Amino acid sequence: MSKAVVVFSGGQDSTTCLIQALNQYDEVHAVTFDYGQRHSEEIATAEKLAKQLKVASHKILDVTVLNELAISALTRDAIPVSNELMDNGLPNTFVPGRNILFLTLAGIYAYQLGAESVITGVCETDFSGYPDCRDSFIKAMQSALEQGMDRELKLVTPLMWLNKAQTWALADKYYSLELVRDQTLTCYNGIVGSGCGTCPACLLRAKGLNDYLDDKAGVMAELDAKC
């Protein structure tokens, strides 16, 4: 029996990955991390979707220690989300160490479940400049987890080389475009669906959807060529 653990935030990307995994694995488990993020709606959305999609189990882990250590617009309400880059060239929504921690804990969970894969929705094509979304980082994390636990474990990144239009096409391929469009939470201001329409996450999401709807056949062909 094939098993996978999906790192699941309830956003567009992780929900699309979860839907795909449910079509590819016999047993799919979701894990969501409460790190004291800017809006608790993210966790509530993930919980609702996990039940709706009928995953084998959904674990919500308290990792609020990250909030104490990592200063970011996503961990401090007093820091407004900005389109401006910080002095280090990164967006102020970058949470240092977040994916290192998430993938480590998801890897431990996969080990206990006997799952061969951990799936995460990180992407290097249409990403926000986060260094922990790069393919090189994922490969390094997989190597560290395999060596540290002395067991084969795949870190699967279905969206790594897809742009946002192609990610929408992937959701549509599994007949879930409306679910992802209307019920996921990507907005940095905690608004489900189309979101606030002004934060960087909403702008990227909306552009991708418009690009897909403008040329469904062409974008779907591009997706099929990559998958």
Q: Binding site for ATP: what residues are annotated?
A: 8-18
CA distance 185 to 83: 19
Q: Which pair of tokens denotes residue 164?
A: 């946002």
**CB contact set of 218 (below 8 Å; sequence gap of 6+):** none
Other CB atoms within 10 A of residue 19 CB: 22
Residue ranges of the binding site: 8-18, 187, 196, 199, 202
CA distance 151 to 129: 31
DSSP string, 30-45: EEEEES--S-THHHHH
Residue ranges of the binding site for Zn(2+): 187, 196, 199, 202
Amino acid symbol at 200:
P
DSSP string, 156-214: E-TTTT--HHHHHHHHHHTT-HHHHHHH----TT--STT--SSSHHHHHHHHHHHHHHH
